[in-house]
Amino acid sequence: MKKIKGIKEQRDKIQELLTLFESEEPEARESAARGLKDFEEGIRTSDRKEIVERVLELSCDEYKEVRASSIMLLGYLRDKIPRNMREDVINQAMALTDDPVAEVRGSAAITIGRLVEAIPQSMKREVVTKLLKLCKDKDAVARGFSALALGHLKDIIPRDKGRKLIKILLKLTEDRDWGVRGASAQALGNLKEIAVKNKSKGVIKRLYELTSDDDPGVRGPAGWSLGELKDLIPNEMQRDVVRRMMQLSRDEEATVRRPAAWALGKLSFVIPSDMKKEVIDIVMDVGEYKDWGIRGPAARTLGEFRDIIPEDMREEVVNLLLRLCEEEDAVVKSSAVWAIGKLSSIIPAKLRNRVFEQLIEMSKDINWMVRGHVAKAMGRLRDIIKTDRREIIAEILFLLSAENNWEIRCSAAWSIGELNKKIPKEMREEAIDILIKLANDGTWEVRRNSALGLGKFGSEIPIYKRKEVIERLLFVTDDHDWSVENSAARALKRLRYFVPPELGDEVDIKIEKILNRK
């Protein structure tokens, strides 16, 4: 379905799709459920309850395709589900894991994984137990989606279920269906802490074996997971794993090359000293491939290599990234910008002006991913921003903070907080006002970064503005998202010296309650 940019147009499209929910044609209902996820940003806060209710109703449809697409949609709408409806959604997804149709069972399973933060404490064990059971389903679709979902549930797996989970996933890596093998390999990569706690030594060995699987849908996820589980790789296997990732980065299948290049970045700290230059050369070579899908991961990997790039290669690396910034493909450009931000501390002085000129130009890029990464890079480059560029960079961040896309706002809020005193004095109050406004944003990630950012301004907050800042942070400490609450409390702690006397007791109570919560 074609992406519609304007919020008004998106809302009109949402109403059109909701009307199709009532169609007598099952194909129309299914298409509407599949299409609605593309217009999530256009959903008004006041409409969330009605929309979720209607999707829940549609998930009970007599046609299997409609049930599957509807329950899948709820997973995509996770940030739009009202807090008081989360349990209803989880209960419906749990009910559909018993559906007679495998596609519906699998869709329900993956939706549960996506809605991990919505699972009530009282249901967590039940949910995990259910998905473990589905891993033994007779149908490959249900087994594969259940494995993926368990990877998403990593933070709520009961301690006594960890060993069993790893054992089941390892068994699934031997499944006759390549999709199940690939899904279980990817899930293992998400379960690092559980694998460590349960001393699952066989995981790395099995994933290494899977990188030689006949199917690219298995080799790719296995390579990705080896990167994620880098800390578990035994010393005696490090050289072999790095060598295998180098080979896979040149695999005949793009779906293998991309995660392999990504994994090499994660493996930077386990690359033997005598292999570092060879690995960097290969990644730079891959960064010049015609396949845009590999150039993006290669660019990100160069960013991950910050601490191992020899001084005599730094200029060459940054020049390659600057060339990638000029490509037409948004994924390649945004990845190159991300890497430049990560390499901030090793960018040669002679290239710094060119870097900022490139980022300033790219802040106007038509693609939201590019603008979002530019916003984040501005904050990461704080220590090399020259005085004469501070005003234009602040102006760019202020503009990006007002974007419709929440990820851009999120990155802009983070960078405004990171820059704090680097922002020209006459512009700091505007910066603070922006963060106050964004602390009430509809997306929790934006609220979190805004709260943290306010805490970093400290003495730069004008005396007449301090009460407003503290009151906003106190309000945010009652946020429904725990990470936003925690960020607001941490900001209040940093600003404790600047709290007006009349708010002191309330601030202390909030800090004590939230930061000392068990």
Examine residue 490 and state whether it is found in any structural domain, yes or no. Answer: yes
Examine residue 510 and state whether it is found in any structural domain, yes or no. Answer: yes
Could you read off the pLDDT of 372-399 as tens digits, one per residue?
Answer: 999 999 999 999 999 999 999 999 999 9
Give yes or no: residues 99 and 11 share one domain.
yes
Domain count, the chain: 3
Give yes or no: residues 132 and 1 share one domain.
yes
3-state secondary structure of 441: coil
Runs of H (alpha helix) within 37-177: 48-58, 64-76, 86-96, 102-114, 124-134, 140-152, 162-172
Give yes or no: residues 114 and 161 share one domain.
no
Residue 466: per-residue pLDDT: 96
Contacts of 167 (CB under 8 A, 6+ apart): none
**In this structure, what token pair is assigned to residue 172?**
């699934």
**In this structure, what token pair is assigned to residue 90?**
């989880």
Domain boundary among 229, 244, 265: 265
Give yes or no: residues 126 and 181 share one domain.
no
Give yes or no: residues 98 and 218 share one domain.
no
Residue 244: per-residue pLDDT: 96
Give yes or no: residues 131 and 259 share one domain.
no
Domain boundary among 235, 265, 295: 265
Domain that holds residue 91: 1-136
Give yes or no: residues 2 and 101 share one domain.
yes
Residue 36: per-residue pLDDT: 93
Contacts of 454 (CB under 8 A, 6+ apart): 417, 432, 435, 436, 439, 461, 469, 472, 473, 491, 495
Q: Residue 363: which region, alpha, beta or left (left: phi > 0; alpha: psi -120 to 50)?
A: alpha
Examine residue 313 and state whether it is found in any structural domain, yes or no. Answer: no
Give yes or no: residues 63 and 102 share one domain.
yes
Examine residue 455 and state whether it is found in any structural domain, yes or no. Answer: yes
Residue 193: per-residue pLDDT: 86
Residue 200: per-residue pLDDT: 66
Ranges of residues in the chain with a pLDDT under 50 are 1-2, 518
Cα–Cα distance for residue pair 112/97, rounded to 1 Å: 10
Domain boundary among 213, 232, 265: 265
461: phi then psi, degrees, rounded to nearest 5 = -75, 120
Cα–Cα distance for residue pair 128/109, rounded to 1 Å: 10
Q: What is the pTM of this model?
A: 0.78
Domain CATH for 162: 1.25.10.10
Give yes or no: residues 510 and 437 share one domain.
yes
Give yes or no: residues 92 and 178 share one domain.
no
Q: What is the CA radius of gyration of the chain?
A: 24
Cα–Cα distance for residue pair 36/70, rounded to 1 Å: 10
Examine residue 48 and state whether it is found in any structural domain, yes or no. Answer: yes
| Residue labelled with tokens 């290969």 | 282
Examine residue 319 and state whether it is found in any structural domain, yes or no. Answer: no
Give yes or no: residues 32 and 119 share one domain.
yes
Give yes or no: residues 70 and 28 share one domain.
yes
Cα–Cα distance for residue pair 179/143, rounded to 1 Å: 9
Examine residue 97 and state whether it is found in any structural domain, yes or no. Answer: yes
Examine residue 373 and state whether it is found in any structural domain, yes or no. Answer: no
